[in-house]
A and B are shown apart, each in its own frame.
Chain A
Amino acid sequence: MTALPFSLPVATLAAALKGTRTALSGALGTRLFLAGITLALTILLLPKAIADPGFFLQIVIYGTADGAIFALIALGYTMVYGIIELINFAHGDIFTLGYFLAIPLIAAFGLTEGSSVSIGMVVVLVVVTAIVMVVDGGINVVIERVAYRPLRSAPRLAILITAVGVSFILEGVMYVWQGANNVHFPDLLPDTRIPLFGASLGVKDIVVIVSALLLVILLNVFINGTKLGKAMRATAQDREAAQLMGININRTIAATFFIGAALAAAGGIIFGLYFNNIRFDEGFIAGLFAFTAAVFGGIGNIQGAALGGLFIGLVQAFSNSYYQAALTDVWIFAILILVLVFRPAGLLGMQVPEK
């Protein structure tokens, strides 16, 4: 196929890309990659930060809260990808489903907008979150059993297409249920804000960041400290070998889907408490951003996904506040493409075993 008319420029381009990619892999590459990001951020943000440090800090606070939610979604993406190498397109909709499921439950427990903050409310919220996490996780396990497991041995195209289909079904269910308008989540948390170096830190920001952090720490303890977590890591590393060691692969994969969905559901509720509005199909885009976060951090890597989520949240906040909000999505997808092109292993990808 050497006679193709555009094979020469393409070959040149490809060679140049390969060179850059080689330069960006390895330990030195990690430093180069980090240096590049730091340089870009400094050039883009330093003048603005000096001009108005208070506003800058405010954006960082908002971005961190956003990023905490992205991180929760990204964890599920990265775990599923790590274990069966599937881009689970439905994951963003699992996140929205968590949000949707929580609304009637909160009403059932008698909490309404304007209820005063009390220990009882916190308890109810924790209970609701736990129930939604279990239900959403269960739904994801059923999805895995019905739509993904039978296709595990089929060509990869098949399972990706079903993932898109499942995403559409979930969106369709939420659409039939709640319609095409924004769905309101009861605004339960107080709007109190604490002044902080020219910016202000809201109670909501603290709740979002702390609960996300708590979940990430719990997940880390689970993955590194329990037998099932060990089974997950083993399965992700080498499925056949794990099977030979007596690990029940199907159960481990189902558990991964369960935990990923549970985290996304928690993310959905946190999102609801923070932003109070979502439309049935908005989770899909949030899921894409979260996937970008997972790729940025190094797909398959738990800490990477958390860091990547934070990074994407910050990028979004900075772009919305300092640059064109209309182009925020474009920058984030551009980051996705650039990372995949120049450093597919992502920020922390070096820790992931070679597949």
Chain B
Amino acid sequence: MSRPLPRNDRAMRWAMGTFKDRNRTIYTLLVIGVLLWPSIADVTTGGSGNHLVSTAADAGIYVLLAIGLNVVVGFAGLLDLGYAAFFAIGAYTYGLLASGQLSGSPLHHEFHLPFWVLILVAMFVAAAFGAILGAPTLRLRGDYLAIVTLGFGEIVPRVFRFLGAGSPIGNWTGGVNGISAIDSPHLPAFISGPWFGTSIQVVSPFDFSDSNWAPMDYYWLIILLVAICIVLVTNLYNSRLGRAWMAVREDEVAAAASGINTVAIKLLAFSIGASFAGFAGCYYGAKLSLVSSENFEFIVSVSILIMVVLGGMGNIPGVIVGALTIYIVQFFVLTNLPDYAVALSNLVGLGFLNQSSPGWVGLHDEVQRLNYIVFGLILVVVMLLRPQGLFPSRIREQELEKGTAEEAVFDVREATD
């Protein structure tokens, strides 16, 4: 087997491997899907696929967030329940420094820094907050981190909401209204072409919000950002740091005994995870051109957690699939389900379910209310029946199925009951 394979065989083996290695299959399918999506959107909607492309770009934000949270939850095994806070911090960083917002603040000066700079700034600001929050708490037991991040996740939107007009230190964040009219990303020049649905031409300057190519350029931008993040995180995972995360996650005492500075390692996971949320937040602010504190509530943190858990903690392609699945469930299935349910009940002769009566608001609204139960059930059922998720990493699978060595005693106890 040591004989190097001839070139043709190698290509063949790569192609065969694509179907044997689940991760590579997922990546291949994702790439195909990403390339074809604009065409699919156009064909299925009869030429007005912009909305679907824009939705896909929004889904990309959740993919970024899930990849970032995966570093914290999947790689390092820490539970972060306030991840939306870092997302908010990234979005507000961009919103404040790329809009007219600060002219109304005590600074009396507005900033219009370019997106390409601010996306890095947002990353570092979010990472810094991660470090500030993580440094004191990561020394404590792991589950304290969960509650502290939960508290932080509740604090951040409230603080942003409070620092609006009428706060004692002036209007910084626009309060309840949030920040609107945020700058769109610009490039000095760019070549537009069929990839944006136009003829080939040099556009200078290139404004991302120009309606000639608007959702399409955001789509390719998020694909680029996601691709960069996948490469980054995959390399991190395969690096010394990634192995250290795994060691800490599986047995902290043994890891410390092997010379790993466990607190520094966990802190790095926590702030790297936060930096991805800042990254995603910056893009979010730019694409939506609006940030508002109510878009960063606890349910956002939980949605991202569900994406990671369902997809398979620790496995990047799995997490991406998880994020897309949950996004589809959240924004297509759960939004359309009430109508389907009504149609179905009419079809099978249960139309009376659609009328509201005391204690029953009608089938449509009742079905609309199911999202909490669905989310909760996903979390519980996945953890009970398939804790490694849909597409697990092989190492994490063994660990979650067998439990760690330290707690093996508990198995004995269960058996003796």
Contact = CB atoms under 8 A, between A and B. Distances in A.
Contact of B376 (A168, A249, A292): A168
Contact of A13 (B135, B374, B377): B135
Given A7-B261, A147-B384, A169-B372, 18 more contacts: A4-B264, A6-B131, A14-B139, A17-B135, A17-B139, A87-B146, A155-B77, A155-B407, A161-B305, A164-B81, A165-B376, A165-B377, A172-B370, A172-B374, A176-B369, A243-B413, A324-B162, A329-B158
A197 interface: no
21 contacts: A4-B264, A10-B131, A10-B135, A86-B143, A152-B414, A153-B411, A155-B404, A157-B142, A164-B302, A165-B380, A168-B375, A172-B372, A176-B369, A291-B147, A326-B158, A326-B161, A330-B162, A336-B147, A340-B136, A340-B140, A340-B148
Interface string B347-368: 0000000000000010001100
A195 interface: no
A151 B384 contact: yes
A85 B143 contact: yes
A7 B264 contact: yes
A286 B361 CA distance: 28
B302 to A, nearest CB: 6
Contacts of B410: 152-153
Contacts of A85: 141, 143
Contacts of A239: 413
Nearest to B81: A164
B379 A162 contact: yes
Nearest to B378: A165
B372 to A, nearest CB: 3
Interface residues of A, number: 66
B280 interface: no
Given A10-B131, A14-B263, A155-B404, A1 B375 contact: no
Contacts, number: 186
Contact of A157 (B77, B137, B144, B411): B77
A150 interface: yes
A41 interface: no
B408 to A, nearest CB: 8
A160 B146 contact: yes
Contacts of B52: none
Interface centre among B143, B380, B409, B414 (most CB of A within 10 A): B380
Contact of A14 (B135, B152, B260, B268): B135
Interface residues of B, number: 74
B350 to A, nearest CB: 18
Interface of A: 1-2, 4, 6-7, 10-11, 13-14, 17-18, 85-87, 146-147, 150-162, 164-173, 175-176, 179-180, 239-240, 243, 249-250, 284-285, 288, 291-292, 295, 324, 326-327, 329-330, 333-334, 336-337, 340-341, 344
Contacts of A169: 372-373, 376-377, 380
A17 B380 CA distance: 37
Contacts of B159: 327, 330
Contacts of A329: 154-155, 158
A302 B41 CA distance: 59
B221 interface: no
Contact of A344 (B135, B144, B244): B144
Contacts of B165: none
Interface centre among B136, B313, B373, B400 (most CB of A within 10 A): B136
Contacts of B366: 176
A156 B313 CA distance: 14
Nearest to A18: B139
B151 interface: yes
Nearest to A327: B162
A238 to B, nearest CB: 12
Contacts of B241: 1
Interface string B64-88: 0000000001000111010000000
Interface string B256-269: 00001101110110
B261 to A, nearest CB: 5
Nearest to A326: B162
B300 to A, nearest CB: 13
Nearest to B380: A165
A172 B135 contact: no
B150 interface: yes
Contacts of B264: 1, 4, 7, 10-11
B309 interface: yes
B184 to A, nearest CB: 32
Given A153-B407, A249-B413, A164 B387 contact: no
A173 to B, nearest CB: 7
A147 B158 CA distance: 32
B73 to A, nearest CB: 7
B48 interface: no
B302 A168 contact: yes
A11 B267 CA distance: 11
B28 interface: no
A80 to B, nearest CB: 12
A155 B403 contact: yes
A171 B370 CA distance: 10
A255 to B, nearest CB: 15
Interface string B119-146: 0000000000001010111011111101
Contacts of A176: 366, 369-370, 373
B376 A154 contact: no
Given A158-B400, A344-B144, A240 B376 contact: no
